[in-house]
């Protein structure tokens, strides 16, 4: 299928070599329980706090290493970098700093890989890169990833972590909400599944666009998932909000999340979803 999608992503022969998993990790104070957790322990627990169970934000490459089959990942659009579309003072420097610290060019890593031999397209966001904010590069890469799924008949798995739209790019960041949502609609029309994994935190314009458009919405335990923040809502409603408001478990009760899956089970859950939504000849679109 899919001759109408011409992205020119092609099939690169060379797989990307991922950095050594968790090599960048440092001893970290858990923001939920304030315990200092040694890096070695965090690597073993997949960055879940052994004291309180808080699922800490992960670097996209570490996430990919824990999810996809070894050696199967091919990164897309790795060199895509953001300009400064509204000529905001200091934005370029902030981007340079974030690139230097993270080793990635913007707040999402996308590519093709497999889980237990079943191919999928992946998009993994990074909260550490300018708060995982969605600017033109994040929107473009997410869109390309979704369209690659439509073109190839491969399910798309997006792991979200974001504070929302990247205001340093003004209107160019806001239009990414419409762009990514349109791509998700097109994937839906092609009958190809979109699996979303909501991680801590997923808020603002990302929640208000593709993050809520999955066929199956998975969330990590305790993840903050919402649009506006609790303080803003309390201020507007002039009411106290219930305990656990906007956490993954609360959103599951409200019907926004289908299942809450601990990080150690995530690969298995995604493998199961790929298996149960697959046909051997990728015949999703026969409907
Ligand atoms: Zn903790």
User: Model confidence over 228-274: pLDDT tens digits?
Assistant: 988 899 999 999 999 899 999 999 999 999 999 999 999 999 999 99
Query: 43 alpha carbon to ligand 1 midpoint, in Å?
Result: 14
Which residues are 113's β-sheet partners? 120
- Going from the Cα of 263 to the center of ligand 1, the distance in angstroms, rounded, reads 15
Residue where a domain stops, chosen among 57, 76, 106: 57
User: How many structural domains is the chain composed of?
Assistant: 2
In a domain, residue 6? The reply is no
- The pLDDT tens digits of the residues spanning 94-110 come to 999 999 999 999 999 99
Instruction: Give yes or no: residues 48 and 63 share one domain.
Output: no
Could you tell me which residue, 33 or 3, shows the higher pLDDT? 33
281 domain-assigned: no
| Mean pLDDT, all residues of the chain | 92
Q: Is the pLDDT of residue 3 over 50?
A: no
Cα 53 to averaged position of ligand 1 atoms, centre (Å): 6
Dihedral pair phi/psi, residue 286, rounded to 5°: -80, 70
Same domain, 29 and 116: no
pLDDT digit string (tens) for 57-81?
A: 999 999 999 999 999 999 999 999 9
Q: Looking at the structure, tell me whether residues 225 and 96 fall in a common domain.
A: yes
**Would strands 118-125 and 259-260 be described as parallel, antiparallel, or unpaired?**
unpaired
Domain-embedded: residue 210? yes
What angle is formed at CA 102 by the lines to CA 99 and CA 24, rounded to 5 degrees? 155
Q: What residues does 156 pair with on adjacent strands?
A: 121, 194
Whether residues 268 and 221 fall in one domain: yes
How much distance in Å is there from the Cα of 217 to the middle of ligand 1? Answer: 25
Q: Are residues 119 and 99 in the same domain?
A: yes
Contact by Cβ (8 Å): 176, 210 = no
| pLDDT > 70? residue 112 | yes
Same domain, 100 and 73: yes
CA of 157: how far to CAs of 83, 192, 193, 217, in Å?
Answer: 27, 11, 9, 10
Domain assignment present for residue 5? The answer is: no
Q: Is residue 171 part of a domain?
A: yes
Beta bridge partners, 208, equal none
- Show the 3-state SS of 6-17: CCCCCCCCCCCC
Residue 204, pLDDT > 70, answer yes
CA–centroid distance, 160 to ligand 1, in Å, is: 21
At 7, is the pLDDT very low, low, confident or very high (cuts 50, 70, 90)?
low
Mean of pLDDT values over 12-36? 86
Same domain membership, residue 82 and residue 32: no
Neighbours of ion ligand 1 (CB under 5 A): 30, 32-33, 49, 51-52, 54
Dist. CA 32 → ligand 1 center (Å): 5
Ligand 1 center from residue 56 Cα (angstroms): 9
Tell me whether residue 122 is in a domain.
yes
Q: Say if residue 47 is in the same domain as residue 63.
A: no
Q: For residues 111 and 178, state if they share a domain.
A: yes
50, 63: one domain: no
In this predicted model, which residue has the larger pLDDT, 284 or 160?
160
Domain of 46 in residue numbering reads as 25-57
How far away, in angstroms, is 119 Cα from ligand 1 center?
34
Instruction: Find the CATH number of the domain harbouring 270.
Output: 3.90.226.10
Q: Using the mean position of ligand 1's atoms as its centre, give its distance from the Cα of residue 50 in Å.
A: 7
């Amino acid at each position: 299928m899919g001759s109408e999608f011409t992205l020119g992503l092609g099939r690169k022969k060379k797989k990307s070599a991922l950095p050594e998993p968790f090599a960048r990790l440092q001893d970290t104070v858990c923001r939920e329980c304030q315990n200092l957790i040694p890096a070695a322990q965090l690597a073993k627990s997949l960055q879940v706090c052994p004291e309180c169970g808080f699922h800490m934000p992960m670097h996209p490459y570490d996430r990919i290493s824990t999810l996809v089959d070894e050696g199967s990942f091919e990164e897309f659009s790795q060199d895509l970098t953001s300009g400064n579309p509204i000529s905001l003072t200091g934005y370029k420097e902030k981007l340079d700093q974030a690139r230097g610290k993270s080793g990635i060019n913007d707040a999402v890593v996308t590519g093709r890989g497999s889980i237990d031999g079943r191919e999928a397209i992946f998009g993994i966001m990074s909260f550490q890169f300018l708060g995982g904010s969605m600017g033109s590069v994040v929107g473009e890469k997410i869109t390309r990833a979704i369209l690659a799924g439509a073109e190839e008949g491969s399910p798309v798995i997006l792991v979200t972590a974001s504070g929302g739209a990247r205001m340093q790019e003004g209107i160019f960041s806001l239009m990414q909400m419409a762009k990514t949502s349109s791509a998700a609609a097109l994937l839906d029309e092609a009958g190809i599944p979109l699996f979303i994994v909501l991680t801590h935190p997923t808020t603002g314009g990302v929640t208000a666009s593709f993050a809520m458009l999955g066929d199956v919405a998975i969330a990590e335990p305790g993840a903050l998932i919402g649009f506006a923040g609790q303080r803003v809502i309390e201020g507007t409603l002039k009411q106290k909000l219930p305990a656990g408001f906007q956490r993954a478990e609360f959103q599951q009760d409200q019907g926004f999340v289908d299942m809450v899956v601990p990080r150690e089970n995530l690969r298995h859950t995604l493998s199961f979803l790929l298996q149960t939504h697959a046909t051997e000849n990728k015949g999703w679109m026969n409907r």
